[in-house]
Structure 1
Amino acid sequence: MRTKALSLLAAAGVVAGTMVALGGAESAENRAVAAPNAEGAGAPRARSAAPRLPGAAVSTRAVAPGVLLSTYALGSRDPGDRWTVQVNLPATPDGPLASARTALGPRATADRVAAALRAAGFTPRVDEVRAPAFADRPAGRLGWTVRVGSHAAEADAVAELARVRKGGFAGGTRYTAQDGDDAGAPQQVHVLRVDFTRFGGRLETDFGPSLKGTEKLTELLGASDAIAGINGQWFYDGAPAGLYVKDGRLIGSATRGRAGIRITGGRSVDVDTFTARVTLRAGAAAAEVDGVNRPPGVVWNCGGVGGDLPTELAQHDLRCTDPSELVRFTPEWGAPTPSGAGAEAVLDAQGTVLALNGTRGTAVPAGGSTVQALGESARWLREHAVPGTRLTVEERVEDGSGRRVALTPDTTVLQVGPTMVRDGRVSVNAAADGVVRQGADQTFTYNWTVRANPRSMIGVDGAGRLMLVVVDGRRAGYSEGLGVAQAAELMHRLGAREAMNLDGGGSSVMATADAGIVNRPSDATGERSLGNVLLLRP
């Protein structure tokens, strides 16, 4: 097995193993991620280098004048890559083992599980897991994992898992090349590079007939004149999540300080962090709108405008709640608004209150909007949204420097993240974007941020060319995927001056109008339906 090594290059915030894989130099500060111990495997063997980037691609073809699609095959399968059983740890030191759910935890908890496994006749390994340095978080230990067995075939690991579960433990199978620390692991990298000095088209975002609902990228390609596309934003409860400004209209939740891309005129892309505030005014009275086009009270990824529980900080893929919210719905929602207790004001295009409903759930009038409210916010709405009066909605979007972003028809903002490259340097805002989880349980950070996964990215290189990139993953021996730090380094090696992460995992997909899906989506069912996408239109 190749050395599983992690650089402590805090200034760069990258995985050194990836630098080797992409042609960089290895740091003398490399340390083993899976630390050898008395119960584990022996000392790491020498690392093997993988092909450089940029360089000769497996294939390159012109999709349109000024648009090139290249596929790179990096790394190689190593005979030492094995299937193993990862045994879950309880969330508390004395918690039950059979229903344990966390992938890693404190050393004392890992030792307790390992001792119980030995008593049951297994031979466990206790391994340390470390996270790389990010722009806003130093490198350090995430926790400890417990694993059993080492198998060349997945079926043998599945059989071992059945025995582990029968013994009173919980867990799953893992392929070691997907631990996110293997420099030479196989990777399939697909790059659409767009030279706008030769390509006369535009980069746009799109969704289906309505925001409420999901569609496949190939369906949206087939229904348009677009020549190529890639997946876009995260989505929850059947709708995109996060700040979304399309052609100057703010149609996605108000939020604060997370990464995003600003597309100007369809031909200029800038990576930054963005904050949005929406204010509802009734004469001299004003109230902050918590979100746009999402169910009130449910705040996916947290980090809203206040009142989120259990935290007001960004926490990716965490479902926060807020018992008192105002949420605005626009015609783009395209479906009846969420029903339930509370209040809802129906407004025409001028903001005149057409109706004030005592419960939630109605149609959004053409050209108008509705405002739903829960808790104390419902009391405010009942007091101020008197039928016949006029309410005004003020919207303000700011970039990371506090400058106001003009919401003109040629402006689109899509908030995803985290950032990967800023001003030509690797810069991952992992903590600010919530991809490092708060608290003792770092399972999410380990699985989503550190471990290898399919990834989709967007960037601009030093020559001003747009880059849309997909890396396949979760396909043992073919393409393992990348950790977030590795993906950032990949974008840097591809020449990115600015780059940002898009939705990934099973959502990662790239397609062209002439050839269909370019990559191999990781879901067993194939291409996933998405909340929105990025399209290249002629």
Structure 2
Amino acid sequence: MHRNTLSAVAAAVTLLAVSAAPATAATPAATPAATPAAAPAAAPVAAPVAASPSGSFFGGKLPLSAPAVTTTVAPGVTLTSMSLGAKDAGDYWTVHVYLPATIDGPLNTAGTALGAREIADRVAAAVREKGFEPRVEEVTTAAFADRPAGTLGWIVRVGRYATSAEAATALSAIRAAGFAGGTRYTAQDGTDPGAPQKVHLLRVDFRQFRGTVGTDFGAALNGTEKLTDLAAAAGAVAGINAQWFYNSAPGGMYVKDGKLIGSATQGRAGIKITRGGRAVDVDTYTARVTLRAGRDSVEIDGVNRVPGEIWNCGGVGGDLPTEKPQHDLKCTDASELVLFTPEWGTPPAGAGAEAVLDARGTVTAVNASRGTAVPAGGSVVQAIGDSAAWLLEHAKAGERLRVSERIEDGRGRRVALTPDTTILQVGPSLVRDGRVSVNAAADGVIREGTDQTFTYNWTVRANPRSMIGTDSRGRLMLVVVDGRQDGYSEGLGVAQTAELMKLLGAREAMNLDGGGSSVMVTSGGGIVNRPSDAAGQRSLGNVILVRP
């Protein structure tokens, strides 16, 4: 909640809008950066400030609660750690009562975090009849580049508690009375610009740094590794988590060293890195992969993913329930062709068909089931459902199958994949051409349909976040904001994350995987931030590394 406005916020949880209108160029703040004596002397780094539109979350200035601390990680690579805001008496724990999906739905098994006003009023009345004192609060969304600000829904809450244990005790009583719910810490509602935050900013200045910035993964795409292990194996100066991952593999378009090794989420934001990190651009990307057998051709549905499962949706050719991007939603397709490259490892086994190709595209085997290893330099095309019949008919041992691909940017222009090209499709976009610009709907972080629980929890509420970008001086930016740690660092909503990146001086910026995956390491300091999972850092699908 906003500082010193507890009574007002108790009536409504309202998020401040973040405008997509242009902001003026960033200018340094007057706060000096402290450098530990043990570290090599570094030039003071001030917290940049940009003029923001009226109504912006931070009001055009980061609420530093202590001087920023900057250390030199390597020549041209600096790490700045910042503390924003502070815990205050206005932060408390509360019970969040879940709502049924329909006005007459059962209350004891309700599973939506928010809903229409009439549903919230019905639940509140039922809670009140059981002797509790509920509050009905409005949740609004910020203004995004492709969606105006407005009401997302209504929530029902009970009580104000100093500790999570007290809230948990109250939740047990509310559940015993016939309701479903959970506990929430109000500083994590995404409404408080003064909430405590720990921000870690790694800048790579290529005027001094002679190394490269690129991506890496473990022994195979189909598997996960910890950032500390990957960074140590590569001798990296620093690193950060990259794409989200599903079925133990990165999700979204992944181009590494000019080779497409991950399926596109059609039209979703991505970041293109060339010249070893010296050129960075945020855009939207689509990919079309075609398989040709003689005069016949067919579209390949995916690259290096489990056939039939399209995580984040945004696929091609009959995916259900939608072909539009929908973050963290698994769409399905019973008839698919999926290309596997050696980077994947051994493709999944199961019913269907497959064609094994050598490095020239010549078919070396055609199988009526799936699961053959990918030959060195070659590939395997797997098919399920009706697509299996097509593959068995057209793939003949000794003949060639031709795979072609076309990647396009947001203007429909073909993107050349040189050996120097890396593309990571994550999203949403945060800053484009120096302006806050979040395509929340197009990037699928606003859920289709009436149940907006995902939008509320992932997009609106505060969470740990990781970001990548570049500033007006061409310096690469890798950023982590810790979250879900009450009183230490609460995290940010997506709109607030975009504004943070703008205030840090980003000209281009994009969101990376976050939550428990958010982690940053340096060669001398190990894990820089405080990952939110109780077990510490997660194993990841892929990472971004700063190599000497």
For the aligned pair, the TM-score class normalised by the smaller chain equals over 0.9
1: distance between equivalents of 2:435 and 2:368? 53
Structure 1 residues without counterparts, runs of 5 or longer: 15-20, 31-46
1: distance between equivalents of 2:146 and 2:198? 29
Return the offset for 1:12: 3.5
Return the offset for 1:28: 6.9
State TM-score, norm by structure 2. 0.91
Which of 534, 537, 544 aligns to 1:527? It is 537
Q: Indicate how the Cα distance of structure 1 residues 29 and 274 shifts in structure 2: closer, same or farther if over 3 A, else same.
A: closer
Return the offset for 1:148: 0.7
1: distance between equivalents of 2:218 and 2:275? 21
Q: Indicate how the Cα distance of structure 1 residues 24 and 391 shifts in structure 2: closer, same or farther if over 3 A, else same.
A: closer
2: distance between equivalents of 1:436 and 1:184? 25
Q: Is the 8 A contact 2:266 2:324 kept in 1?
A: no
Aligned to 1:34: none
Residues 12-31 of structure 1: pairs in structure 2 closer than 5 A: 12=21
Aligned to 1:278: 289
Q: Is the 8 A contact 1:22 1:490 kept in 2?
A: no
Aligned to 1:36: none
2: distance between equivalents of 1:417 and 1:361? 32
Code of the aligned partner of 2:382: Q
Question: How many residue pairs are counted as aligned between the two chains?
Answer: 515
Q: Is the 8 A contact 1:54 1:493 kept in 2?
A: no
Aligned to 1:255: 265
Return the offset for 1:270: 1.1
Which of 365, 373, 376 aligns to 2:375? It is 365
Q: Is the 8 A contact 2:48 2:504 kept in 1?
A: no
Aligned to 2:330: 319
- Partner of 2:292, secondary structure, is strand
Code of the aligned partner of 2:444: G
1:258-309 deviation per Cα after TM superposition (whole angstroms, max 9, x unaligned): 1111111212211111111110001110010110000100000001123110
Q: Is the 8 A contact 1:91 1:101 kept in 2?
A: yes
Aligned pair 1:111/2:126, yes or no?
A: no
- Partner of 1:332, secondary structure, is coil
Return the offset for 1:168: 1.1
Residues 57-96 of structure 1: pairs in structure 2 closer than 5 A: 57-96=67-106
Which of 3, 15, 22 aligns to 1:6? It is 15
Code of the aligned partner of 1:215: E
Q: Is the 8 A contact 2:467 2:479 kept in 1?
A: yes
Which of 498, 518, 531 aligns to 1:508? It is 518
Residues 361-440 of structure 1: pairs in structure 2 closer than 5 A: 361-440=371-450
Code of the aligned partner of 2:529: N
- Partner of 1:155, secondary structure, is helix
Return the offset for 1:48: 10
1:86-110 deviation per Cα after TM superposition (whole angstroms, max 9, x unaligned): 0111112211111111100011111
Q: Indicate how the Cα distance of structure 1 residues 26 and 70 shifts in structure 2: closer, same or farther if over 3 A, else same.
A: closer
Code of the aligned partner of 1:152: A
Overall identity of the aligned pairs, in % = 70
Q: Indicate how the Cα distance of structure 1 residues 536 and 8 shifts in structure 2: closer, same or farther if over 3 A, else same.
A: closer
Code of the aligned partner of 2:447: R
Return the offset for 1:471: 0.2
2: distance between equivalents of 1:216 and 1:156? 35
Which of 304, 308, 312 aligns to 1:297? It is 308
1: distance between equivalents of 2:65 and 2:470? 18
Runs of 4+ in structure 1 off by over 4 angstroms are 8-11, 21-30, 47-51, 53-57
1: distance between equivalents of 2:384 and 2:22? 42
Structure 2 residues without counterparts, runs of 5 or longer: 24-46
Residues 463-502 of structure 1: pairs in structure 2 closer than 5 A: 463-502=473-512
Aligned to 1:306: 317
Return the offset for 1:388: 1.2
Q: Is the 8 A contact 1:179 1:452 kept in 2?
A: yes
User: Could you say what the CA RMSD is over the residues aligned between the two structures, in angstroms?
Assistant: 2.0
Q: Indicate how the Cα distance of structure 1 residues 483 and 512 shifts in structure 2: closer, same or farther if over 3 A, else same.
A: same
Q: Is the 8 A contact 1:53 1:494 kept in 2?
A: no
Q: Is the 8 A contact 2:64 2:83 kept in 1?
A: no
Q: Indicate how the Cα distance of structure 1 residues 269 and 26 shifts in structure 2: closer, same or farther if over 3 A, else same.
A: closer
Q: Is the 8 A contact 2:63 2:85 kept in 1?
A: no
Q: Is the 8 A contact 1:82 1:150 kept in 2?
A: yes
Code of the aligned partner of 2:479: V
Aligned to 2:38: none
Code of the aligned partner of 2:342: P
Code of the aligned partner of 1:240: P
